[in-house]
Structure 1
Amino acid sequence: MDITDNKIIDSLKKDSKASLTNISNIVNLSVPSVRERINKMIDNGVIRRYTIDVDYKKIGYDIDVLINITLSNSIYSEFKEFISQQKHVDFCYRISGDSCFIFKARFKEMLDVEEFIDVLKSYGHTETQFIFPSST
């Protein structure tokens, strides 16, 4: 990895659909050289996948929450299986500290949040923080 590879990654992070021509102009390399570098980063596992950035508010998901959960009875595998199947959960990390996991979820209505937390209660104690829209 060198400065040019980092510039290519920065370009792809901003726009994963950026054309090779556009990237080649940014990094001052030929299109075949850029393609070769990208393929090498894919082969080496540096670039794992291409993704999109969805504005969930525009499709009705107005409520974002962070939920910490402290599991009862060491039911880690059951919880991990459950949470991996929840389509409205954006990410889930096992963490150190008072809680076992933290995850971000999005909902359309407060009732959806309440019902989801009720389900989580069977796994342990939860603490929920609502994410306010940023001003930036």
Structure 2
Amino acid sequence: MDDTDRKIVALLRTDARRSFQDIGGHVSLSAPAVKRRVDKLQSEGVIRSYAAVVDPAAMGWHTHAVVALYCEGRMSAAEVRKAIEPHDEVESAYTVAGEASAILHVRAADTQHLEEALERLRDTPGVRRTHTQVVLSTLFERPVA
């Protein structure tokens, strides 16, 4: 991946519906040349998918929290994933080094919904306890560019 590819990816990250011609104007390439590069970036797995970035609050998810998840014994990453994946409120999950088994980003409509989601998570077989920090405001989110 060279600097031109990085610029193409950055342009697509700001607007995935951008035309190849428009991108070409920014990186000094023809539309067909940009298409070939994008196709190659897709085939190499650099670009995994295209998605609409939706404001969670507009969808009714006004509350979110960072949750440390503590599991019993030595649950594998696959077992932890299987335990938490059915919970729609879990937006993302990461295994971590340290005391916790995983760190979760959880979204909910309000604090009551968050509490219910946390209770369901704690009722999941293999989950011992959680430690939750409610997010008050988002200072910034930096996408990979």
Compute the TM-score of the two structures, normalised by the length of structure 2: 0.86
Partner SS, residue 61 of structure 1: coil
**CA offsets per residue over residues 78-99 of structure 1, 9 Å max, x none?**
4321311222211101111111
Match of 2:30 in 1: 30
Give the distance between the partners of 1:34 and 1:73, measured in 2 at CA: 50
The runs of 5 or more residues in structure 1 that have no matched partner are: none
The runs of 5 or more residues in structure 2 that have no matched partner are: 141-145
**CA offsets per residue over residues 54-111 of structure 1, 9 Å max, x none?**
1011121110111111101334444321311222211101111111100111101212
Partner SS, residue 85 of structure 1: coil
Partner SS, residue 115 of structure 1: helix
Partner SS, residue 100 of structure 2: coil
Q: What pairs up with 1:14-93 in 2 under 5 angstroms?
A: 14-76=14-76, 77-93=78-94
Letter matched to residue 125 of structure 1: R
Q: How far did 1:45 drift? A: 1.2
Give the distance between the partners of 2:74 and 2:51, measured in 1 at CA: 34
Runs of 4+ in 1 over 6 A off after TM superposition: none
Give the distance between the partners of 1:127 and 1:34, measured in 2 at CA: 47
Letter matched to residue 106 of structure 1: R
Give the distance between the partners of 1:71 and 1:61, measured in 2 at CA: 26
Compute the TM-score of the two structures, normalised by the length of structure 1: 0.91
Match of 2:130 in 1: 126
Give the distance between the partners of 2:75 and 2:139, measured in 1 at CA: 39
Match of 2:111 in 1: 110
